[in-house]
Chain A
Amino acid sequence: MSNIIKSRGDGKTQCASDGKRTFLKLSSAALAALAVSGTAIDALASGENAFLSIPIAPQTGAVDLGSGDTGILNYAYALEQLEAAFYTQAVGSPYGNMSAQERQVLTDLRDHEIVHREFLKTALGAGAIPGLTPNFGKIKFNNRKSVLETARTFEDLGVAAYNGAGKLLTNPEFLLLAGKIVSVEARHAAAIRDLLKPRSNNFSPKAFDQAFDPATVLKAAAPFIATPITANNLPRS
């Protein structure tokens, strides 16, 4: 806990735009539940944060993901925000005739993505990007097909994103953490795909999952995120 608060107050990420203030306020409740003492978060809270770019570029209002491992974790954090917001809405305003099984799966996915989101926010501390505003205008939340196909898109994209990001991380502990999350995203992807085409070969269409670079992933995610994001400082290899 102390690391996070300390790094927040160190003045290095002085980005007190309205968005950032809102984000800090929103996150305080979640943070209060967390006790922090480990090496991975220490690494972010001390060394890494000294090199952070300012999360909000004042000229454009765009959110910049930053650089190094912090940038990659912010990239993951952005995707988890998107997924959590999507499932929150999907469960909150369910389509008609949602089966008990579908409700259970979508509710579990919502909760898992919230855990991922809150974990990454905590790990990033003062280096975290602010809360992003989703754009779900194209999703028909009252339509089963639209919801499940969007879920499939997000889960497959998440798997490909984490798989592609592995090589961009330098800290082995972050690599392990990404690994702990990506296999859960893959479990999600299979479950959603099975709901769409039960007991077929659809749950895992290929012997090797995709591994996308951040540019590819962010392009695919962009239509669903209202907040402009820049990722020019992310590691490329």
Chain B
Amino acid sequence: MTDKTILGGLDPELVTRLTTRREAIFKAGKLGVAPASAPIALGALSATTFGQGSPLPAQIVDTLNFALTLEFLEDEFYRTAINSRNLIPNTTRNVFRQISNHEAAHVKFLQGALGTAATAKPTFDFTAGGAFADVFSNYQTFLAVSQAFEDTGVRAYKGQAGNLISNNDVLTAALSIHSVEARHASEVRRIRGEKGWITGESRGTLPAPTQAVYDGEDNTTQGGANLAGLAGVPASAITEAFDEPLTKDEVLAIARLFIRA
């Protein structure tokens, strides 16, 4: 797979700016730091070549590392699932292959943008200490965990957008990932027989340990306007129409269930 393919969809110029020319990051970040000179091809990115001088502000590095941790989680999850015999039926195999490819691309992109500042991949426990013991042998358990990861991912990226507002390139890249996670979430939810969108703070048919993924999704006040009772639409539409963010701590509390070390 070429880098061009793996980053398909993202504005090539933006990819170039983020991963091959550090001066653009300095400029976009308005740091006024002297730019690095040599362009570095994405495929050649390595910890030793890119991270020198730590070009990204700490807040952005922290945020991207937080995203990278979640992408590591998803990437390994789908990779393991696809390689698990008799788990994913042929009818949805293309869906999960696609999701897996996307998560791999997100990991690669974030690692490239972070360079040596990229965090290491944690060791995961996708059974969450036994709560989902058959996650890679029972398709329904796998689907349930998948939905929880995707809906969490959407809320996680959303909650971090404000922390990236100082760098247009990084913000746009994060938004381009955020909406892809939402597409994943919708597809997995619908495969499970749920609506593609979240009604109130309902976890639907997911098991109780996933409730934290949906807490707060019942918010009806947007930008100070309480939309409850809006004429002409059912009450369910008010909460379905807006996805709610989670804070970093809220997301990590969920993710830690699946992280061994």
Contacts and interface: CB of A to CB of B under 8 A. Distances in A.
Interface of A: 29-30, 32-42, 104-105, 108, 111-112, 114-116, 118-119, 122-123, 159, 162-164, 166-167, 172-177, 179-191, 194, 199-201, 203-211, 237
With most chain A CB atoms within 10 A of its CB, the pick from B9, B106, B180, B223 is B223
A166 B171 contact: yes
B172 A119 contact: no
Q: Is the interface of A mostly helix, strand, loop or mixed?
A: helix
Interface residues of B, number: 69
Contact of A187 (B98, B196, B244): B196
Interface in B149-201: 154, 157-158, 161-162, 165, 168, 171-173, 175-187, 190-191, 195-197
Given A186-B186, A200-B95, A204-B184, A34 B230 contact: yes
Interface stretch (B57-65, B121-129, B233-241): B233-241
B238 A115 contact: yes
Given A181-B242, A207-B7, 18 more contacts: A35-B226, A108-B197, A112-B241, A118-B230, A163-B176, A176-B245, A182-B182, A184-B182, A186-B183, A190-B186, A194-B186, A199-B91, A199-B92, A205-B9, A208-B9, A209-B176, A209-B179, A209-B183
Given A38-B223, A187-B183, A114 B172 contact: no
Contacts of B195: 104, 108
A164 B238 CA distance: 25
B97 interface: yes
B258 to A, nearest CB: 22
A33 B101 CA distance: 45
B43 interface: no
With most chain A CB atoms within 10 A of its CB, the pick from B9, B240, B241 is B241
B133 interface: no
B161 A179 contact: yes
Interface string B1-31: 0000011111100100000000000000000
Contacts of A42: 224
A40 B6 CA distance: 38
A135 B178 CA distance: 31
B190 A180 contact: no
Given A187-B183, A237-B168, A194 B175 contact: no
B140 to A, nearest CB: 16
Nearest to A39: B224
